Structure 1
Amino acid sequence: MDNSSSGTSLYVGDLHPAVTDSVLFSTFADVGKVLSARVCRDVADQSSFGYGFVNFEDPRDAERAIEQLNYVDLMGRPMRIMWCSTDPSLRQSGKGNIFIKNLDKGITQWELHETLKKFGKILSC
């Protein structure tokens, strides 16, 4: 298991704009006890950024969520689920996630991947 020290926090990406905190919570609650679920939103207009975070009580439930729900459709879009680390020391390691917004709607995941791969290994795009 390659995850954070607690092993209970998950990143959930590629969410449909209509997915709410409660929809995310109930989707993952089928797997185990969810402590929190949050869809990240723009502060100005509250539009979804298309990703969120789910925190489980038990690391085994988080692992099971990845196994059972990764790439499962939620509101017509397959969710992409990965371990999320909140360890501050990892933030200074030079490795991590980036979020890019205001891309042209015509940009595909493949094009973005091809553009960014010269900067390092990409796990998901």
Structure 2
Amino acid sequence: MNNSLSALYVGDLHPEVTESMLVEGFSSAGHVHSVRVCRKWNNGVSLNYAFVNFYKQADAERALATLNCKLLMGWPMRVMWSQRDFTLRKSGVGNLFIRNLDMTTIDSMALFDLFSVSGNVLSCKVVAYKTGTKGYGYVQFESPGAANVAKERLDSKLFNDHKVSIEHFKSRKERKAEGNRHT
């Protein structure tokens, strides 16, 4: 089994989601090798994310295509390739910050659909309250070039009567140094 090609990260999970629920849901895409819901070491409380490993890359690809943003216990799952390289994950390379999204109609799946025409989207999330979205989100592309194409193509465009603003992602530390924040 090639872990780098068949391992998926599943985020934004309901706190009561179990391994067996994930096995049941992800088995629709193919033969699941293993599932692990990540938990706090001291009390076993869910950290609201998991890893799902498939025997075959094609099955993982199918799961990614069909299960991203699907509801599990009423919460939309964020499914993406597992990125075990911490430095790449945290680098912000290829990441965009999108503000002024329509808070009633733009969810993570709509954001994915909008941005995926510009390149391979690794991760996509509209930040939400329990009662709705906050009107901003993040998109991570596989390459900085794809992020640049998306920014050039979509920045300042109207989506559902909202003129969106797109910036390259900056870490909290970078924003603080500039005296600025995303929200």
TM-score by length of 2: 0.49
Specify every segment of 5 or more residues in structure 1 that has no aligned partner in the other structure, as ranges: 99-104, 121-125
Contact in 1 for aligned 2:29/2:62 (Cα 8 Å): yes
Q: Residues of 1 paired with 2:44 and 2:11: CA distance? A: 17
Of 76, 83, 88, 2:74 maps to 76
2:156 is matched with which residue?
A: none
Ranges of 4+ aligned residues in structure 1 off by more than 4 Å? 108-113
Task: Count how many residue pairs are aligned between Structure 1 and Structure 2.
Answer: 102
2:64 aligns with 66
1:69-108 per-position Cα deviation (integer Å, ceiling 9, x unaligned): 000000000000010134xxx44xx32159xxxxxx99x8
| Higher RCO (CA-CA < 8 Å; seq separation 6+) | 1
Higher strand share: 2
Give 1:39's aligned residue: 37
The answer as to whether partners of 2:83 and 2:89 remain within 8 angstroms in 1 is no
Bigger CA radius of gyration: 2
1:25 pairs, out of 19, 23, 26, with 23
Out of 8, 11, 20, the residue aligned to residue 9 of structure 2 is: 11
Identical aligned pairs, as a percentage? 43
Tell me the equivalent position of 1:95. 88
Structure 2 matches for 1:94-113, cutoff 5 A?
Answer: 94-97=87-90
Q: 2: distance between equivalents of 1:73 and 1:52?
A: 15
Aligned partners of 2:60, 2:35: CA distance in 1, in Å? 12
| Equivalent AA in structure 1 for residue 75 of structure 2 | R
Cα 1:22/1:66, change in 2 over 3 Å: same
Q: CA deviation at 1:119?
A: 2.1
| Matching residue of 2:50 | 52
| Cα deviation, residue 118, structure 1 | 2.0
Alpha-carbon distance between aligned partners in 2 of 1:72 and 1:112, rounded to the nearest angstrom? 18
1:33-62 CA-partner distances (Å, limit 9, x unpaired)? 000011100011111000000000000000
> Counterpart amino acid of 1:48?
S
Query: What is the alpha-carbon distance in structure 1 between the residues aligned to residue 54 and residue 134 of structure 2?
Result: 29
1:111: how far off?
7.5
